[in-house]
Amino acid sequence: MSTAADLSSFGLTGGSFITVLTGAGVSAECGIPTFRGAGGLWRTYRAEDLATPAAFSRDPRLVWEWYDYRRGICAGKQPNPAHNAITRLDGNLSNFLLMTQNVDDLHGRAGTGRLVELHGNLFRARCLECGAVDRNLPVPLLEIPPRCGCGGMLRPDVVWFGEALPEEAIRLASEASRDCDLMVVAGTSAVVQPAASMPLLARQAGAHVIEVNPDPTPLTPFVDLHLEGKAGEVMPGLVESILELVTP
C-alpha cells in the first residue's frame, strides 16, 4: 500500500492534532553525528563520560570545551529538508506540536515555533547561582567556563545523564502524546526515556503512529507505518501527503 493510501485510512481531518517526535537522525544529513552512530567520540571521551553532573563538577572547563566544540559544529550547519518540512506542518496546521530530543537548535532555526525541547538547547546556558538563562553567548565562547552577570558559573542548559527532564517540557509532551491523532517519529533510536515512551502513550490513547528511519528500532513493531529511509528524503513527501488530506 502507498503512503497516501495508508494515510487516508487514518481518518485525519482539518481539526486533527498532529505531533512529531524527532531525534538525532533528523540532523544527520546536516553532518551532525548521531549519538549511537559512528563519529560520536570527541578526543577520547564518550558522551556518557562528559554529559553528567559529576563530570561537570570535576572539570567544568573540559565539559564546556566539548560543548563549545559541538556548538561550533551545529552553528555552522543549516536546517535540511526534514526540518523545513516540519516547519510547513507548524505553519499549516491548527493543532500541532513538535517534540525534539535534539539540542542543536536546527528546528528553531528552521522556524518551527510550536516546539518542545525535551533535552534543552546547546545555545542556552543557565547560571548555577541565580538560575538566569543566557541565550546570547558567543560562538565560540570568549571565556571557558563562561560566567553569568551575577558572577556565578554558567552550565549548558541541556539535560545530562542522570538528570530529570524539565517538568514543563515533559508535561506538554505527555499531554500532546495522549491527545494527538497522529504522531510522526523521525530519526530516533527510541531507546532513551522518557522520550521513547511518547509514541507508546499516543498509541495507547488511540493515535496512529508513523516512523521514519532507515533502520528498524524497538518502536517499529508498534507503529502503523514504518517509512524506511532518510528523514531529509522521506519527510517532505510525507508532509505534503498529510497536508493534502487535512487542509482544504
Point out which residues bind ligand OAD (CB under 6 A). Answer: 23-25, 28-29, 34-37, 51, 101, 119, 159, 186-189, 192, 212-215, 217, 230-231
Pick the closer one to ligand OAD by CB: 24 or 99: 24
d(C-alpha 65, C-alpha 247), whole Å = 46
d(C-alpha 198, C-alpha 86), whole Å = 18
Say if residue 145 is preceded by a cis peptide, omega within 30 of 0: yes
Residue 209 pairs with which residues in a beta bridge?
A: 183
One-letter amino acid for residue 71 of the chain: R
CB 149 to ligand OAD: min, Å: 27
Query: Cβ-closest residue to ligand OAD?
Result: 25
CB 222 to ligand OAD: min, Å: 15
Catalytic residue of the set 83, 107, 119, 226: 119
CB 187 to ligand OAD: min, Å: 4
d(C-alpha 124, C-alpha 140), whole Å = 13
CB 56 to ligand OAD: min, Å: 13
C-alpha cell at 82: 526534514
Q: Provide the CB-side half-sphere exposure for 126 (13 A, CA).
A: 10
For this structure, is 119 an active site residue? yes
Pick the closer one to ligand OAD by CB: 207 or 219: 219
Pick the closer one to ligand OAD by CB: 185 or 246: 185
Pick the closer one to ligand OAD by CB: 147 or 203: 203
d(C-alpha 224, C-alpha 209), whole Å = 5
Active site residues: 119
